[in-house]
């Protein structure tokens, strides 16, 4: 059992930014179930969006963000994100962060879908996440920041006053370990691993959302999932991300008949919002046609996109041939744990930042390259809040692990592939009531219940249990929203319904072992078995 000032679960850009901000005042422990390099932040090919160009403005970036999110956001939060993000990015530039530059020494600002200006900063061409992660890792003190790798947090522990003050983990050998602190931060990322086709690291399956839900936290916007239009397609499966920056450099989408598929779909063509491009590619593929990114117009493709070139080479796709086969896959979760402007949840002592959080900034669909910006902004913002408020250890009257409660043993009767295939088939890019209801019925037929205290023999069983919980929350939310908006596309309700659904949210919470759904706009509460 170990004690520190602040525990961060997850090791992506939001986590490292928070640790960087806190390390001068506090001892920080970062717990990750894999290795630091295994998260989505390291995989991020795209850049960071910030309005630092001469012709750009906070207003223009905010307008693009709101339009991409179908105006489902909290506008004041979006404004704060971009204002703070601009300041932080300018500070990184001044610190010498390794952003790509033109021959004249000026910053190379790229264009991506749904942006009205060139405002995307990149590092190493298409290795921005890796470069930024390494930049932050080098800044961390070995004396003040401790990394605990290959341990899976499987329970949040609260004291007798309901304050979150610890975690239980299983290490790689399934041994149980205990850690406690006055502040617990979830920075565990999204849910891409719930789908067979994803740009995410396979370990990213919504652990933080399941942990928070079981502890009594509120979640929202779980129906809004962004499918990236262009994952590499090879040998019958997706094999990695082909960054939107490729389209920003001029690549076009063709089917195997040579037709440009985005013509007549959206005025922005290949640079339309991601859900529009993903839906178009999905429909082409359902017709039995292959879809390709034609990169013939891009000069020095391998120099501009070294990691994508290496990915194609690994899967025997010729860059010289000029066409990269692509297919959509799960990319980003807009919803998650409900937080305020600094990352606080409804549970004292529990915070959430980054993709695991629903902070009101992404709405129904995230604007390209706003995710790394979110991690940097909320990591810094929560750090400042914790520094100002101080670490109040008095909430820990005694070790919470003196009275650990073990749950009833559970066994998992399904395989991960079953759940993933059901998610892709019924809760994927295009949804309808029949399929959503079928998947929900399958989920509810599993002999599992919502248990705050769980007792599984292995990490793999916990992993499947968490996948079941998050899948159920996503499916319930998708069934509940009877309109199409952003990343949530209902074939049976194909239009946006601004009169009934524009700002309307369902808040999900555990209630005495059952699912409680609060529809605040309609002032209704439903309790599900």
Model pLDDT, residue 35? 81
Q: Pseudo-torsion of CA 211, 214, 220, 225, nearest 10°?
A: 50
- Per-residue pLDDT 10s for the chain (529 aa) are 577 899 999 999 999 999 999 999 999 999 999 887 766 676 666 789 999 999 999 999 999 999 999 999 999 999 999 999 999 999 999 988 889 999 899 999 998 888 999 999 998 877 888 888 888 999 999 999 999 999 999 999 999 999 999 999 999 888 999 999 999 999 999 999 999 999 888 889 999 999 999 999 999 999 999 999 999 999 888 988 998 889 999 999 999 999 999 999 999 999 998 889 999 999 999 999 999 999 999 999 999 999 899 999 999 999 999 999 999 999 999 999 999 999 999 999 999 999 999 999 999 999 989 999 999 999 999 999 999 988 764 344 345 554 455 555 667 889 999 999 999 999 999 999 999 999 999 999 999 999 877 778 789 999 999 999 999 999 999 999 999 999 999 999 999 999 999 999 999 999 888 999 998 777 777 776 5
The reply to whether 137 and 88 lie within a common domain is yes
The answer to the question of residue 418 being in a domain is no
Q: How many domains does the chain have?
A: 2
The CATH number given to whatever domain includes residue 163 is 3.50.50.60
The reply to whether 172 and 107 lie within a common domain is yes
Phi then psi for 339, rounded to 5 degrees? -130, 165
**Looking up tokens 């659904």, which residue turns up?**
501
* Domain endpoint, select from 293, 328, 363: 328
Domain that holds residue 349: 2-190+332-401
How many CB atoms are closer than 10 A to CB 483? 19
The reply to whether 160 and 290 lie within a common domain is no
The answer to the question of residue 437 being in a domain is no
The reply to whether 6 and 147 lie within a common domain is yes
The reply to whether 58 and 31 lie within a common domain is yes
The two structure tokens encoding residue 78: 């979006």
The two structure tokens encoding residue 250: 């001029």
The reply to whether 241 and 302 lie within a common domain is yes
The answer to the question of residue 428 being in a domain is no
The answer to the question of residue 348 being in a domain is yes
The answer to the question of residue 506 being in a domain is no
- Distance between start and end Cα atoms, the chain: 37
Catalytic residue at 274?
yes
Q: Please count the residues of the chain.
A: 529
The answer to the question of residue 95 being in a domain is yes
pTM for the model stands at 0.92
How many CB atoms are closer than 10 A to CB 89? 24
The answer to the question of residue 29 being in a domain is yes
The answer to the question of residue 286 being in a domain is yes
Model pLDDT, residue 396? 44
Catalytic residue among 247, 274, 366, 490: 274
Model pLDDT, residue 395? 42
Cβ–Cβ < 8 Å for 13, 354: yes
Cβ–Cβ < 8 Å for 234, 316: yes
Cross-strand pairs, 232: 326
Distances (CA, A) of 161 to 154, 394, 396: 21, 12, 10
Model pLDDT, residue 324? 97
The reply to whether 387 and 289 lie within a common domain is no
Angle between helices 13-22 and 128-139 (to 10 degrees): 20
Those residues whose C-beta lies under 8 Å from the C-beta of residue 329, and which sit 6 or more positions away, are: 192, 195, 197, 198, 199, 227, 228, 231, 238
The CATH number given to whatever domain includes residue 288 is 3.90.700.10
């Amino acid at each position: 059992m170990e004690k520190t000032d602040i525990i961060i679960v997850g090791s992506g850009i939001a986590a490292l930014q928070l640790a960087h901000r806190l390390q001068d005042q506090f001892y920080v422990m970062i717990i990750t179930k894999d290795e630091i390099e295994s998260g989505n932040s390291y995989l991020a090919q795209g850049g960071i969006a910030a309005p630092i160009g001469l012709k750009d403005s906070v207003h223009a970036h905010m307008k693009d963000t709101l339009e991409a999110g179908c105006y489902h956001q909290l506008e004041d939060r979006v404004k704060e994100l971009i204002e703070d993000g601009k300041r932080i990015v300018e500070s990184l530039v001044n610190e010498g962060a390794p952003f790509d530059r033109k021959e004249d020494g000026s910053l190379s600002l790229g264009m991506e879908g749904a942006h009205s200006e060139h405002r995307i900063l990149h590092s190493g061409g298409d290795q921005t996440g890796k470069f930024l992660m390494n930049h932050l890792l080098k800044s961390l003190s070995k004396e003040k920041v401790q990394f605990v790798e290959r341990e899976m947090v499987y329970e949040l522990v609260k004291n007798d006053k309901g304050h979150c003050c610890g975690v239980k983990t299983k290490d790689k050998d399934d041994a149980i370990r205990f850690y406690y602190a006055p502040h617990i931060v979830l920075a565990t990322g999204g849910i891409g691993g719930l789908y067979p086709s994803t740009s995410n690291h396979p370990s990213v399956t919504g652990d933080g959302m399941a942990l928070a839900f079981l502890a009594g936290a509120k979640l929202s916007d779980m129906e809004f999932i962004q499918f990236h239009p262009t994952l590499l397609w090879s040998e019958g499966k997706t094999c990695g991300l082909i960054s939107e920056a490729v389209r920003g450099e001029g690549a076009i989408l063709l089917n195997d008949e040579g037709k440009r598929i985005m013509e007549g779909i959206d005025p922005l063509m290949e640079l339309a919002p991601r859900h529009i491009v993903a839906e178009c590619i999905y429909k082409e593929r359902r017709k039995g046609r292959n879809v390709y990114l034609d990169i013939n117009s891009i000069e020095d493709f391998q120099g501009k996109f070294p990691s994508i070139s290496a990915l194609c080479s690994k899967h025997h796709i010729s860059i010289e041939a000029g066409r990269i086969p692509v297919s959509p896959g799960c990319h980003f979760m807009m919803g998650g744990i409900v937080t305020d402007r600094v990352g606080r949840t409804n549970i004292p002592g529990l915070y959430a930042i980054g993709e695991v959080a629903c902070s009101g900034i992404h709405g129904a669909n995230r604007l390209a390259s706003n995710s790394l910006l979110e991690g940097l902004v909320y990591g810094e913002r929560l750090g400042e809040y914790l520094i100002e408020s101080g670490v109040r250890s008095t909430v820990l009257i005694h070790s919470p692990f003196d009275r650990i409660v073990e749950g009833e043993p559970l066994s998992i009767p399904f395989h991960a592939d079953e759940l993933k295939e059901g998610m892709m088939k019924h809760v994927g890019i295009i949804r309808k009531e029949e399929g959503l209801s079928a998947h929900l019925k399958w989920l509810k037929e599993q002999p599992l219940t919502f248990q705050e205290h769980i007792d599984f023999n292995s990490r793999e069983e916990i992993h499947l249990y968490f996948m079941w919980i998050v899948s159920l929350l996503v499916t319930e939310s998708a069934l509940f929203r009877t309109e199409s908006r952003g990343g949530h596309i209902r074939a049976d309700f194909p239009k946006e319904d601004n009169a009934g659904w524009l700002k309307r949210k369902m808040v999900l919470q555990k209630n005495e072992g059952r699912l409680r759904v609060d529809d605040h706009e309609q002032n209704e509460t439903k309790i599900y078995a």
